[in-house]
Amino acid sequence: MIKMVFCVRKKSDQSDENFYRYWLNEHGPLVASLSASLNIKRYVQSHTIQDALGQTVASGRGMKLQGFDGLAEVWWDSQDALLAALSTEEGQTSSAILAEDEARFIDLENSTIFFTEEHCVVDL
């Protein structure tokens, strides 16, 4: 399995309420509707909780908060499965639809994406 991690920042003209509502209730179902054409196995949104706990934990480690509004995680069986989906016209169209929708509510220039391979250490 591989996973794409998308560290998301909302557009500056978006309120927190509208951003999280749109991401969960509009973009989420859009991803679900296109998941088969993209060979997506799992999609999870993690919405940032703005509270003192994050600041306390970060500062205790000498870190600063990076100001991401959330995290999206998308899983595929393999890189080959993702590349196979993106090599089809349907997969390319689906990817373009998602990118167009993301541009509506995500500050893409100040967000980031990277791919990972998970190594589970604790799973209770």
Per residue in 48-82, pLDDT tens? 987 677 677 767 788 676 789 999 999 999 999 99
Q: What is the pLDDT of residue 49?
A: 85
pTM attached to this predicted model:
0.88
Is 111 a residue whose pLDDT tops 90? yes
Share of the chain above pLDDT 90, in %: 82
Cβ neighbours around 44 below 10 Å, total: 11
